[in-house]
């Protein structure tokens, strides 16, 4: 598999006006960022937090991907996610899960265990601490932030991918994407992304949009990491003296919305690894 070629072809579909419909079950902190990133990526977002209609958003509205984010999870929202996820599984719509801050409380631990038991997730995107936590290892997370040493992180990503039968994405200094059989590493991204609330959540929105255009979720996950990483580098190049993080965030959104295929591919630092 020539992953670079496939990334280029999938990204180029952004300009074909296909508008994949993405259903968001997300938090109220970064919701606008996720919706914007979906639109910037050529998608069409729809949102719900009403349990009586959630499954209809997937089955009858013909959503092509579902994003679930744990940022402000509660019991009612967990029920909505479970019902929606089961519906998505039944009608073969990909589920992208961002288990934000799952290490923060016992309820969140219960919630992730419950959801992963009831719903087949197609892409699970998290930081190393969140990935290790799901596997039962001790972690150094604080809220949504991971303070793990990322050396050797590949083994945890592979272990979780094999355990869940899913694509696992670890966002970090180098993003790691694996389904247990293949692995990709994206080494793009500016350090200021860590200072933006919603940067990681936005990656999930981009992944979901491209997941509506392909059945290869390893590929769509790789595109999501590539786009955000390159966009942040383009944003940094625009920064002027006395411009701060809020301006940087705006420039990231600009880059995602305006990035041409050639710009992405010229800047992309991608490594493809075949696993035994």
Say whether 84 counts as a known binding-site residue. Answer: no
Q: How confident is the model at residue 61 (pLDDT cuts 50, 70, 90)?
A: confident
Strand 95-98 versus strand 65-69 pairing type: parallel
- Per-residue pLDDT, 55: 86
Query: What would the pLDDT profile of 218-265 be if each residue is shown by its tens digit?
Result: 999 999 999 999 999 999 999 999 999 999 999 999 999 999 999 999
194 is in an annotated binding site: no
Q: Determine whether the annotation assigns residue 155 to a binding site.
A: no
Task: Domain 3-274: give its CATH superfamily.
Answer: Ribokinase (3.40.1190.20)
* pLDDT of residue 274 exceeding 90: no
Q: How much is the average pLDDT of 58-76? A: 92
User: What does pLDDT average to over the chain?
Assistant: 93
């Amino acid at each position: 598999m020539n992953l670079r070629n496939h990334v280029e072809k999938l990204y180029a579909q952004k300009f074909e006006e296909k508008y994949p419909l993405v259903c968001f079950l997300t938090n109220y902190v970064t919701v606008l960022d996720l919706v914007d990133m979906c639109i910037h990526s050529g998608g069409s977002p729809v949102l719900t937090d009403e349990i009586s209609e959630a499954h209809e958003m997937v089955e009858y509205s013909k959503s092509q991907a579902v994003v679930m984010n744990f940022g402000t999870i509660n019991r009612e929202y967990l029920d909505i996610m479970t019902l929606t996820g089961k519906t998505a599984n039944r009608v073969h719509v990909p589920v992208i899960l961002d288990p934000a801050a799952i290490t923060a409380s016992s309820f969140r631990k219960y919630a992730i265990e419950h959801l992963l038991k009831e719903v087949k997730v197609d892409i699970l995107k998290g930081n190393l601490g969140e990935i290790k936590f799901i596997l039962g290892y001790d972690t150094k997370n604080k809220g949504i932030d991971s303070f793990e040493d990322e050396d050797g992180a590949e083994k945890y990503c592979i272990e979780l991918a094999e355990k869940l039968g899913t694509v696992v994405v670890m966002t970090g200094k180098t993003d790691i994407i694996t389904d247990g059989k293949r692995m990709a590493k994206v080494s793009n991204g500016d350090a200021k992304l860590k200072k933006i609330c919603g940067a990681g959540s936005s990656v999930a929105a981009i992944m979901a949009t491209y997941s509506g255009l392909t059945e290869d979720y390893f590929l769509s996950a790789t595109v999501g990491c590539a786009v955000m990483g390159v966009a942040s580098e383009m944003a940094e190049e625009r920064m002027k003296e006395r411009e701060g993080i809020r301006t940087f965030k705006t420039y990231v959104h600009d880059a995602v919305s305006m990035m041409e295929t050639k710009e992405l591919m010229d800047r992309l630092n991608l490594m493809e690894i075949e696993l035994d």
